Each structure stands twice: as structure tokens, then as C-alpha cells.
Amino acid sequence: MANPKGGIPPIPPTKYKGEETDKKVLRYALSAMIDEQICAALEIDISTFSDWKLKHPSLAEALREGRTDADGHIVQSLYSKAKSGDTTAQIFWLKNRKRKEWRDREEREVELKLAEKMSKEEIISELKKISSEFKDDV
């Protein structure tokens, strides 16, 4: 867009207001808002927010601090519920903290053989073997 007086058009003023914006971002992060929601509240584009996080370390720190505190509150709440006997909370906790022992799916090592080097009978035999292993798990 050309400047009617000629020359380079003026740069529009930024909506970033230093500490004032940092405090808003901290408050939004503490309330578990995601970046898109924060941008909507600040009336800015996500690319602008990404730029701000790079250009303004105090904003990035406010965002990190707010999210860390919010996550900490949730962890404490989940831990309290798990300790008080809430089995859903206990299962969730264990599945995330003791993944190897409590995950829903079991990982299996599968030996792959090239089908072109196997006879039809060998392929069928391998498929039956794998199928029976899965039946045993059910």
C-alpha cells in the first residue's frame, strides 16, 4: 500500500505492550489456554504470537511459567484423587508413570521373512502361528 505523502508507509504500532502483555499471557496460560485461544484473546495472528515468543524472552517465560504452574495443579489434583481411591485416576497415573507395566497395548517383536523366499506352506504356517498367539491373548 502506497503512502499518500510518498515514501515508505508507516509501520503500524505493535499490540505487544511489554509487561502488560506478559501478565495477560501468564494469566491466560494459568487458565490452560492454548496458543490459538491466547491469540484470539490478544486479537493477534498466531504468526505474530510466534514472533513475539522469539523476540520477547519475558513473554516466552511468562507462557512457560503459566503452563508449568497449571500443569502442576492438575498433577497435584490427579495425585490426590488417585491417593483417595479414585480408580480412574489411579489407572491414568500408572499408565503414564509406569508405562511398561501398565500400558494397554503390548509390543511384540515380529520376525519378517521375505514372502518371495518362502513357500506357500511356510507362509500359511507362519500366519497360523501368529494367529494362535493373538487368540491366546484374548
- Please compute the mean of the pLDDT values over residues 63-77 and round it to a whole number: 94
**pLDDT of 62 higher than 60:** yes
Residue closest to 50 by CA, chosen among 64, 60, 62: 60
Alpha carbon distance 68, 59 (integer Å): 14
Residue spans of the domains in the chain: they are 19-103
pLDDT for 33 equals 95
Tell whether the torsion through CA atoms of 11, 13, 18 and 23 is positive or negative. Answer: negative
Report which residue type is found at 73: H
Asked if residue 137 has pLDDT above 60, the reply is: no
The pLDDT of residue 107 is 61
pTM (2 d.p.): 0.60
pLDDT greater than 70 at residue 2: no
Distance CA 93, CA 87 (A): 10
Residue pLDDT, tens place only, 80-132? 999 998 999 998 888 888 877 787 766 666 566 666 677 888 888 888 887 77
pLDDT in tens, 3-53: 566 677 776 778 999 999 999 999 999 999 999 999 999 999 999 999 999
Task: Report the pLDDT value the prediction gives residue 111, as an integer from 0 to 100.
Answer: 62
